[in-house]
Amino acid sequence: DGGITQSPKYLFRKEGQNVTLSCEQNLNHDAMYWYRQDPGQGLRLIYYSQIVNDFQKGDIAEGYSVSREKKESFPLTVTSAQKNPTAFYLCASSMPTVDKNIQYFGAGTRLSVL
């Protein structure tokens, strides 16, 4: 099936630890995104990438890092510099030039701090 796959579904981080969230898409989309969602709130953009080997900071990039070495993959690392990482993380992809930038979302990763 075509779509966005995020893993793991649940993740726990210890103090001072970096963790990496996986996001893979087989939709052949150029653009990919990472969002953070806190309880009862909307989505906030962390990073986005419009093309392989290029990415831009979103509204809340501090404490996070990404890479885009392959078109289908856009992993997000939550570093120890992110002091409040507990949240629901959502990955999305889109094809801006074709599909009016309709975003397709994964099922999310819920990150908690031990």
The contact set with another protein (CB under 8 A) reads 4, 30-31, 33, 35, 40-45, 48, 50, 56, 58-59, 88, 90, 92, 94, 96, 100-108, 110
The span from the CA of 33 to the CA of 95, in Å, is: 12
Structure tokens at 63: 């404490």
Q: Which is nearer to another protein, 72 or 105 (CB)?
A: 105
Q: Which is nearer to another protein, 82 or 94 (CB)?
A: 94
Which are the contacts of 107, defined by CB distance < 8 A and separation ≥ 6? 6, 9
What are φ and ψ of residue 88, in 5° steps? -100, 125
Q: Which is nearer to another protein, 81 or 102 (CB)?
A: 102
